[in-house]
Structure 1
Amino acid sequence: MSVAKFANHLYGTPLSTAIRETSWIIPGVQSIHIIAIAGVVGAAIVMDLRLAGVLATDEAPRAVAKRHLPWMWSSLALLLASGFVLGLGEPYRVLMNPVFWAKMALVLTGFVLTLLFRYPILHPDYRIEHTRAAALVKPLAWASLAIWVAVVFCGRWIAYYQ
């Protein structure tokens, strides 16, 4: 089944119809989606700027990551759940949109980078300056930040892509 056929099938389901036809669902879920992206990006900004040596340099990276990772994960879960509801409501507009797929690729990249880049920091014996990849810490922090900012831009462009 093609993506277009799947989107058309999804569009015709009672759940999709209910989401579209209930006046408060789309704006309410969009508001939650925006708050969730603020949580993800806000946590990423603090952690990435700490790892880049710009913010909270008086704190250990472990303390910053330990404080902000739970916010990032819970916001990411809320972001994905609200995005799923929005996609159910307007499947053709979302699934047939290349900007949406770019956003999903960026979210996946940001997620994987967060797993690979931040979780080692939580280990009590971890020291950034002693790792084999110490030279990559700052560039990866800036790349991570750029990825999450690009997710925000893609999210806005989804609505305007024709």
Structure 2
Amino acid sequence: MAILQFAQWANDSELGTYIRESLFAYPAIEGLHLLSLAFSVGLIVFTDLRLVGLFLKEVPASDLLKQLRPWVLGGFAVQLFTGVLLFFASAATVVTLPVFWLKLLVIFLAGVNVLWFELKWVRRVGDWTDQLVPPGGVRFAGWASLAFWSFVVISGRLIPYLSYK
């Protein structure tokens, strides 16, 4: 099944139709999507600012990562679930938007950045956790994450506006 066919199927499904036509479902799902975005990306920003050495310098990076990880992952899980539901409500439209595909690409790149950071730096966090200015690779991962998630938020907010043009 081609992407356009899948998108049309999702759009025309009972779930997509219900979300799109419901007085309460779409706004509730979108609201939850935005709240979980603010929650998880907000915590990611705190983490990234610590990783680049600009915020919470007195807090060991390992403590911050350990404490915030479950909350970030929980918020991201809600974002993913609500994002899929929102996709079903307008799939036929959003798959035609380049900004939608750029958003997905940048989410993928953010995931690659996190994976690289976890494999390369978190395993050795004891070596650098107390440094006021973390190693260059850690700072790079933090700056990249800030850039990626900023683009995801901006492109995500553009989707509804570009859908009606």
TM-score range, shorter chain: 0.7 to 0.9
Give the aligned partner of residue 144 of structure 1: 145
Within 5 Å, give how 1:29-108 maps onto structure 2. Answer: 29-108=29-108
1:83 Cα deviation from its structure 2 partner = 0.4
1:127 Cα deviation from its structure 2 partner = 1.3
Residues 22-67 of structure 1: CA distance to partner in whole angstroms, max 9, x if unpaired? 1111111000010111122111111111111111111111011111
Cα contact 2:48–2:143 (8 A) shared by 1: yes
1:121 Cα deviation from its structure 2 partner = 5.3
Structure 1 stretches of 5 or more lacking a match? none
Counterpart of 1:155, as a letter, is G
Distance in 1 separating the partners of 2:92 and 2:75: 26
Cα contact 1:100–1:158 (8 A) shared by 2: yes
Identity across the alignment (%) = 30
- 1:27 equivalent to 2:30? Answer no
Residues 54-89 of structure 1: CA distance to partner in whole angstroms, max 9, x if unpaired? 111111110111111111111110000000000111
CA gap of 1:118–1:61, structure 2 versus 1, over 3 A, is: farther
Which SS does the other structure have where 2:109 is aligned?
Answer: helix
Distance in 2 separating the partners of 1:160 and 1:31: 17
Distance in 2 separating the partners of 1:119 and 1:65: 14
CA gap of 1:70–1:121, structure 2 versus 1, over 3 A, is: farther
1:112 Cα deviation from its structure 2 partner = 2.5
1:95 Cα deviation from its structure 2 partner = 2.0
Backbone CA RMSD of aligned residues:
2.1
1:125 Cα deviation from its structure 2 partner = 6.2
Counterpart of 1:8, as a letter, is Q
Segment of structure 1 superposing worse, 148-157 or 87-96: 87-96
1:118 Cα deviation from its structure 2 partner = 4.2
Q: What number of residue pairs does the alignment pair up?
A: 159
1:111 Cα deviation from its structure 2 partner = 2.2
Cα contact 1:110–1:147 (8 A) shared by 2: yes
Structure 2 stretches of 5 or more lacking a match? none
- 1:134 equivalent to 2:135? Answer yes
Q: Which runs of 4+ in 1 moved over 4 A?
A: 118-125
